Amino acid sequence: MESLLQLLSGFETALTWWNILYCLIGVSLGMLVGVLPGLGPTAGTAVLLPITFGMEPVSAIIMLSGIYYGAMYGGTITSVLINTPGEAASVITCLDGYPLAKQGRAGTALGVAGIGSFIGGTVSILGLAFIGPPVAKIALNFGPPEFFALMVLGLTLVVGLMGKSLIKGMMASVFGLTLAMVGTDSLTGVARFAFGQQNLVNGFDFVTVAMGLFGLSEILTNAESNVKAEKMPKVKGLLPRREERGPTLAAIGRGTGLGFLIGLLPGSNSVIPALMSYSLEKKLAKDPSRFGKGAVEGVAGPETANNAYCGGALIPLFTLGIPSSPTIAVLLGAFIMHGLTPGPTLFQTNGNFVWAVIASMFVGNFLLLIMNLPLAGVWAKIATIPTKLLFPIILIISVLGVYSVNNSLWDVGVMLAFGIIGYFLKKGNIPLAPIVLTFVLGKLMEDSLLQSLTIFHGNFWAIFLRPISGTLLSIAIAALIVSLITGIKKKRSPYLDGDVEM
């Protein structure tokens, strides 16, 4: 009951005209990010971060959250109409969405995807609203040792899931931790790894690193290919046939639960629930041979799952301050830049902010449902813009955005440097996600460790003796061992050395 009252108060803030406007801008930009092939929610959110500087924290996070879940909607459109996934999770939608479009049923594919996404997203946000506060209350019992152990567990799971090469995941994680160590030591006040460079005394700026690694590297990678747009099919008839409605609703229900639960797991990403949902629907279908040829459930289930994932993934961020995916890590950086610290105290110290953001997500989902169906053809035409025109525009926006943060050409140079680094890392199949995750969490993890060592007078092993922190660290060690064993077994196959694109 208390959560319901808080949610209603959040709507008072979210329904002000300026926050509705920021929400509309956010979901529109998110749709654009989702529609543009290769950009994706992580790169898109990183590139658009500078827009929020100077804004009120509530409005800024409302807009960035809109970009996040708006991108999940946008990727569906081009997947169905022109067989071009706008972001990673939409690859699964191509399997049955595009065959439906070739059968003249593009409207049905977009209709069930839009309705499923709306239901999955709305239910997962309700889960965030009613499950988040109890989890936060439990987490209030966490001290520095527990937070250190929790972050170690999150990073361990991320490395275990970030691609099929554990060694490359570890390399990326160590690189991210090294970047986090640049700057002034919080305990001694001594500059580390600054090499006499005044610009490095405060460390690397998160926006600069994220925009370089994700945004600029995506531009460089995609500039190598020249994808020709296909002929746009007509969109008509948004609802499935009568005999398809029962299986479609069932697929939406299963996708909602699956996506929400996977969103709670650190190290997951929206591809996982989409792929699992597709596999589940194919196994439960009376005629599995329909899948890949235009099965409506093959669109409804995965699209619902990847949007339900969004709400579930925000629970670890809001309640524990732990990002469960690269895009959430970018949002965590945005929180910190606007003076907000996600974690157990967020609901207490910034309750008005939290509930306004949650309420805005309901508004955003409704706006996306309206934008996603009647305007699908308009959004899809954006994907046909020649890359020789599109990429320079994105690059100019990125440079201006980075420069506007501190009015510093140094930041522009750092972004360009990290863009080139990200490009070569991708060429070597080294995942970028562990870098940004460990970079964001590295400083927080270090502070928790130093506080713990102060409490225990330098005795590190005392952390293992506390019930919660000891259990979490034991799980982290076990997860790392399992990942290592799995990696050794898979090493025999030359086709398994790669990474999952986030």
Could you list the pLDDT tens digit for every one of the 502 residues in the chain? 667 788 888 888 888 888 899 889 888 888 887 776 556 677 777 777 777 777 888 888 888 888 877 877 777 777 777 666 656 667 678 778 878 888 878 778 888 888 888 888 888 888 888 887 777 677 666 778 887 887 787 677 555 445 556 677 778 888 888 888 888 776 777 778 877 777 787 788 766 787 788 767 777 877 776 555 455 556 666 677 777 778 888 889 998 988 888 777 655 666 678 877 887 888 888 887 888 788 888 888 888 888 888 878 888 888 777 776 777 777 887 887 777 777 777 777 777 888 888 888 888 888 888 877 677 666 666 656 666 776 777 777 677 767 766 677 888 888 889 889 988 988 888 877 678 777 877 777 888 888 888 888 888 888 888 888 888 888 888 877 776 676 666 655 544 444 444 4
The pTM of this model reads 0.67
Least Cα distance to 502 among 436, 438, 418 occurs for 436
Longest dimension (CA), the chain: 71
- Tokens (6 digits) for 409: 């050409």
pLDDT at 235: 63
pLDDT at 198: 79
CA distance 16 to 51: 20
CA distance 294 to 289: 10
pLDDT at 105: 80
DSSP 76-136: HHHHHHHS--SSGGGHHHHHHHHHHHHTT-HHHHHHHHHHHHHHHHHHHHHHHHHHHHHHH
> 159: part of which helix (H) or strand (E)?
helix 144-161
- Tokens (6 digits) for 336: 């910190």
pLDDT at 1: 62
Determine phi and psi for 222, rounding to 5 degrees. -75, -20
pLDDT at 199: 78
pLDDT at 495: 42
pLDDT at 487: 61
> 229: part of which helix (H) or strand (E)?
none
CA distance 281 to 293: 14
Neighbours of 242 (CB within 10 A): 7
> 258: part of which helix (H) or strand (E)?
helix 242-263
pLDDT at 502: 41
Contacts of 412 (CB under 8 A, 6+ apart): 399, 402, 403
54: left (phi over 0), alpha (psi -120 to 50) or beta: left
pLDDT at 161: 46
DSSP 212: I
Local structure of 163: helix, strand or coil = coil
pLDDT at 356: 87
DSSP 276-332: HHHHHHHHH-S-GGGTTS--THHHHHHHHHHHHHHHHHHHHHHHH---SSHHHHHHH
